[in-house]
Structure 1
Amino acid sequence: MQERSVQHTTFVIERSYGASPKRVFAAWANQEAKAKWFPGPKLFDFRVGGREYHRQTHEGVTYTYDATYQDIVPDQRIAFTYIVDRDETRLSVSVTTVEMKPEGTGTRLIYTEQGAFFDGTDKPEDREHGTRLLLDALDKALQDELMLDEKIH
């Protein structure tokens, strides 16, 4: 019989972006905008109670991300719960809050994740590292959007 374990963790990542809270929020709330920095979902229903679902296979292993939006305050806050599976194995369950606060002409984003990681199948430090990479990709997508706006105007 396999020994079971749970590792609980919380991590907080703070970032400053040169875009308004409205633009940062839109990068999370709009499927096309989010696909520029986060792997494209198969299902995207951005509303309280709505789901975001991704399933992709990499090197013969299928990963599933299944999120449910719990709270949305336009331009200020998004709270969601999500699970990650590898094939038929549940790796983790998380509660995440993304806060967007005005900071000068830009935005201070505060990403807080509270996770339960099961049976040593995933590591919190790996999740935090991956999240930092996604938030870097968000920054690049926002910068690209601002540059495009400047060219148009």
Structure 2
Amino acid sequence: MQDSKLEGLTLHSWTLQIWRDYRRGVALTGQQAAIAHCLQNHPEWWSDWDTADRPDDERAITNRLIHIHNDAAIRIQVERENPKEIKTLYDTLLGKGFTEFESIHTLAVAFTEESSYAVENDETFDLQRYVDRARSYVKEALSRPNLTRSSKSKRY
């Protein structure tokens, strides 16, 4: 079996175990708690998590898992205030009436882009470039809040 497939299954099975534990009321902390919170905040995908042992569309499930883990990464950055600029940008969005997940998703676009750029160019993740991208996306979101809000219906 391909290494990438094994890694995907590992991420897949671990994330589904977090979902099951969350649904059973198991107390979760740290990264697991952040992942559970992000899973819970995507009710449009709950049926996927509940039936993901036999996914109809493995690619869609994988994309959604990446989405959830990126959301969780932003949540952890905000909670830990590291980098502090991301926490500041998050608070700015909340202060302007954006919801928690509108704010997380705005920042996650920059995180995802920088992560992809680093992988595609065989570079390390550039924190300053990420913060600069995040700043740009927050500025855009604040100038066009209705566009940001209408994009939340997007399916992955």
In terms of fraction of residues, the more strand-rich structure is 1
Establish whether TM, by shorter chain, passes 0.5.
Answer: no
Query: Aligning the two structures, in what range does the TM-score lie when normalised by the shorter sequence?
Result: under 0.3
TM-score by length of 1: 0.27
Structure number with greater CO (CA < 8 Å, separation at least 6) is: 1
In terms of fraction of residues, the more helix-rich structure is 2
